Structure 1
Amino acid sequence: MRSVLASKHDMHLSGKTVLKLMRQENRRCQVRRRKYRSYRGQVGLATQNLLDRDFSAPTPNSKWVTDVTEFRVLGLKQYLSPVIDLFNGEVISYEVASAPGLGLVTTMLDKALATLDEQTKPMIHSDQGWHYRHITYRNTLASKGIRQSMSRKGNCLDNAVAENFFGHFKEEFLRQRTFISLNQFRSELDTYIHWFNNDRIRLKLKGLSPVDYRTQSLVNMVPTLN
């Protein structure tokens, strides 16, 4: 809230002042619920934690993170699986489904890989959920020459960026809307992800949206010809 007021309206308020104003307007920050756990025991092999909580990335598409979250729409369980670029926090791809099957993750992965050229091979980090240990998922990564990294068992902080995105998704999107159908939910989800990538500013990105930051960074990376 303070970031939006400062960047969009040039209003620089203390945290206490913002809290007081929110109380006057009967607004509260939502408490984040416990996330969906996809671990089902020893299914396939786990890999090392190559990411090791280094959530910085020097260039776009050098480090990705992914995860699955569970929530309810119209009383029905839904599952969201995104791929997030650690360079700028951009959602590269995502898939939503009514069941946490393997297709939820493989479809998301295929969409993400389709955005890459042949030379770009990001490391992709996840928890130890069964989707990511499945031979189909692992073979897809291996066929593209992409390194796989996994969090330590039961340690959500090893994938903190994905956790943080789910928190924003639930507070900014799910809890601010009422849906009359799953089709409406999915249509508005598309709109939210577009807004998150293209319009939602972040102080960490110098007050830019993820897409604007990536675009500006790529321009700066191009060598100047004399």
Structure 2
Amino acid sequence: MVLKNKGFNINHKRVLRIMREESLLCTKFKTRSRKYSSYKGQIGKVADNVVRRQFSATKPNQLWLTDVTEFRLRGKEEKLYLSPILDLYNSEIISYTLSNHPTTKLTNEMLEKALEENKDIKDLTIHSDQG
């Protein structure tokens, strides 16, 4: 930041390389050991792709979309995981759950709540990216 304020335009990689050569350590920032990955080994049965990227619905409760999203809380190391289910017909959130961990319990509770609130559903497709 000091170099930038003095009019120098230097790539951050060059600064890091020079710091390493001079055995200088930066204590303000720390590198992450690894990025979160939900991969747990080989994939089991993969569902057929019945949606085929045709993301449209002509009536309510015809096509629901779901996913799990990771949020990092500002100023904290803590993460939250959001699992919503969205009706593609009107973009309404049917149900959602929040958790500190990305578990199957998180998604199962969300799905159970959605189906409990919408009992008389016929021909519903629920789409997930399986990620």
The normalised TM-score by structure 2 is 0.65
Where structure 2 has 5 or more consecutive residues not aligned to the other structure, the ranges are: 1-35
Structure 1 position 48 matched with structure 2 position 48: yes
Does the residue aligned with 1:106 lie in a helix, a strand or coil?
Answer: helix
- 1:164 corresponds to: none
Structure 1 position 126 matched with structure 2 position 128: yes
Counterpart of 1:50, as a letter, is V
Please give the alpha-carbon distance, in whole angstroms, between the structure 1 residues aligned to 2:83 and 2:62.
Answer: 19
Change (3 A) 1:48 1:37: farther
- 1:90 corresponds to: 92
Change (3 A) 1:82 1:119: closer
- Matched residues, percent identical? 49
Q: Deviations over 1:58-104 (max 9, x none)?
A: 10010001000111123301100000111011110000000011110
- Does the 8 Å CA contact 1:83/1:93 hold for their aligned counterparts? yes
Change (3 A) 1:104 1:96: same
Does the residue aligned with 1:112 lie in a helix, a strand or coil?
Answer: helix
Q: Deviations over 1:142-196 (max 9, x none)?
A: xxxxxxxxxxxxxxxxxxxxxxxxxxxxxxxxxxxxxxxxxxxxxxxxxxxxxxx
- 1:71 corresponds to: 71
**Alpha-carbon offset, residue 37 of structure 1:** 5.3
Between structure 1 and structure 2, the one with the greater Rg is 2
- Does the 8 Å CA contact 2:61/2:121 hold for their aligned counterparts? no
Structure 1 position 99 matched with structure 2 position 105: no
Does the residue aligned with 1:65 lie in a helix, a strand or coil?
Answer: strand
Does the residue aligned with 1:114 lie in a helix, a strand or coil?
Answer: helix
Answer 1 or 2: which has greater strand percent.
2
Answer 1 or 2: which has greater helix percent.
1
Counterpart of 2:66, as a letter, is T
Counterpart of 2:86, as a letter, is I
Change (3 A) 1:124 1:39: farther
Does the residue aligned with 1:94 lie in a helix, a strand or coil?
Answer: strand
Please give the alpha-carbon distance, in whole angstroms, between the structure 1 residues aligned to 2:92 and 2:121.
Answer: 20
Where structure 1 has 5 or more consecutive residues not aligned to the other structure, the ranges are: 1-35, 130-226
CA RMSD of aligned residues (A): 1.7
